[in-house]
Amino acid sequence: MISNSNKETDIIRKVAGNFARHPSQVNQLMEADAEIIWRNGEYLVLKTDGIHEEIKTKLYEDPYLIGWMAVTAPISDIAAVGAVPEGILLSLQMSLHENEDWLKQIQAGINDACLHYHSYVLGGDTNFSDSVSISTTAVAHIKAGRPLLRTGMKPGERLYATSLLGTGNAFAYSRFFNQALDVQFRPVARLVESRVLRTYATSCIDTSDGLFPALAVLSELNNVGFHLETPLLKLLSEDAGSVHRQEGLPDWMLLAGPHGEYELLFTVAGEKQNEFEKECESEGWNPVYLGKVIALPKLDFITGSLKIQCHRHTIANLFYESNGDILAYLQLLKQQHEKWVANN
């Protein structure tokens, strides 16, 4: 089945599409990972992000990880627009039955992440509920230069990620299907890397929802496609590669699921490619080259011995077609793979 629209962006348009926009807001709906307002001679950048489903499905159970992610998730969006974070506000729903140690662990996760990102807890709101859930709002600024948007890429430009991918989905697979795999998950928002991107990137998004869902959003917003030249196997992180081998899971599936790795995915103009890569090296990191932006709104990539060309939303929509049922989702991924094998 080929879907003609992106299910995730359809939902966002339905829920938020009718609200009036602030006259000084720089980004349109979905056009950036965070909200950007030009005011008082600078860009004020804000982002609200919630950790709800991750807790409900027990993907996140360790309170330290919950605290760490409550800060890292919105700060990753701050990094994706090239802003500098200042602080966060927390809206915490917790159960009255949680013990003192649980509270200490979640506080430690929040505190450690804030320290790491040179940020502070500015305030918040605590409610008691049957279950745990956190929404965080991050506050940031851009004092010089322009914000990075998801839009702006052109055919021919180069597509990169800040690092190898797939750890988020490898972690989710280990939590849901084989806890013996013991994948470590503690992503770091790419604030340091985003400093170079502010000069060189023509567009940027974080992979909090995974690589293929991010590509689907970029493809729709920019009306382009992607030709991934690097075989997907070479894009996998150590943990993702390990799950791929041990579980016999096709590499593309570890880049398909909606639990991403919080890297930045961005484009650079061809003529800036060398200069950009040198600058990264001098800053102590190496971007991962994925391929090129193409004019046709399609997606092609190499998985194992297969060369796949598919509709830009096919992979991203599989999760929505499963209605969030993890087992059904894995089946849909496997069916998709069999179809590709049969057609090749």
Which part of the chain contacts a copy of itself (CB under 8 A), choosing from 92-100, 254-262, 281-289, 335-343?
92-100
CB of 50 to a copy of itself, least distance (A): 5
Give the chain's length: 344
Nearer to a copy of itself, 106 or 332 (CB): 106
> Which residue among 93, 242, 273, 322 contacts a copy of itself (CB under 8 A)?
93
Nearer to a copy of itself, 34 or 161 (CB): 34
Nearer to a copy of itself, 57 or 242 (CB): 57
Q: Which two tokens stand for residue 81?
A: 């627009």
Q: Helix or strand or coil: residue 66?
A: helix
* Total binding residues toward a copy of itself, as defined by CB under 8 A: 57
Does residue 321 touch a copy of itself according to CB under 8 A?
A: no
Does residue 127 touch a copy of itself according to CB under 8 A?
A: yes
Nearer to a copy of itself, 70 or 235 (CB): 70
Do 71 and 136 touch, CB atoms closer than 8 A?
Answer: yes
Residues 6 or more apart whose CB falls under 8 angstroms from that of 317 comprise 3, 6, 7, 216
Half-sphere exposure of 290 (CA within 13 A, CB side): 32
> Which residue among 1, 5, 95, 123 contacts a copy of itself (CB under 8 A)?
123
Q: How far apart are CA 241 and CA 265, in angstroms?
A: 19
**Residue 137 main-chain phi, psi, to 5 deg:** -110, 125
Does residue 328 touch a copy of itself according to CB under 8 A?
A: no
CB of 327 to a copy of itself, least distance (A): 18
Nearer to a copy of itself, 62 or 98 (CB): 98
CB of 72 to a copy of itself, least distance (A): 15
Q: Which of residues 23-62 bind a copy of itself (CB under 8 A)?
A: 25, 34-35, 37, 39-42, 44, 46-50, 52-53, 56
Does residue 81 touch a copy of itself according to CB under 8 A?
A: no
Does residue 111 touch a copy of itself according to CB under 8 A?
A: yes
Q: How far apart are CA 211 and CA 215, in angstroms?
A: 6
Does residue 283 touch a copy of itself according to CB under 8 A?
A: no
Does residue 90 touch a copy of itself according to CB under 8 A?
A: yes
By C-alpha distance, which of 290, 332, 297, 292 is closest to 315?
332
Residues 6 or more apart whose CB falls under 8 angstroms from that of 144 comprise none
Nearer to a copy of itself, 147 or 250 (CB): 147
Work out the burial of residue 240: count CB atoms within 10 Å of its CB; fewer than 13 is exposed, 13-18 middle, 19 or more buried: buried
Nearer to a copy of itself, 123 or 270 (CB): 123
Q: In what order do the strands lie in the sheet with 306-311?
A: 201-206, 264-268, 158-161, 288-294, 225-228, 298-303, 306-311
By C-alpha distance, which of 89, 50, 85, 78 is closest to 66?
50
By C-alpha distance, which of 153, 164, 178, 168 is closest to 256?
168
CB of 102 to a copy of itself, least distance (A): 12
Nearer to a copy of itself, 2 or 20 (CB): 20
Does residue 239 touch a copy of itself according to CB under 8 A?
A: no
Q: β-strand 84-95 against 120-129: which pairing, if any?
A: parallel
* Residue positions forming the annotated binding site for Mg(2+): 33, 48-49, 77, 125, 206, 209
Question: Given CA atoms 231, 316, 241, 327 in this order, what sign does their dihedral have?
Answer: negative
Q: Which residues bind a copy of itself (CB under 8 A)?
A: 11-12, 14-16, 18-22, 25, 34-35, 37, 39-42, 44, 46-50, 52-53, 56, 86-87, 89-94, 103, 107, 110-111, 114-115, 120-129, 133, 135, 137, 139, 141, 324
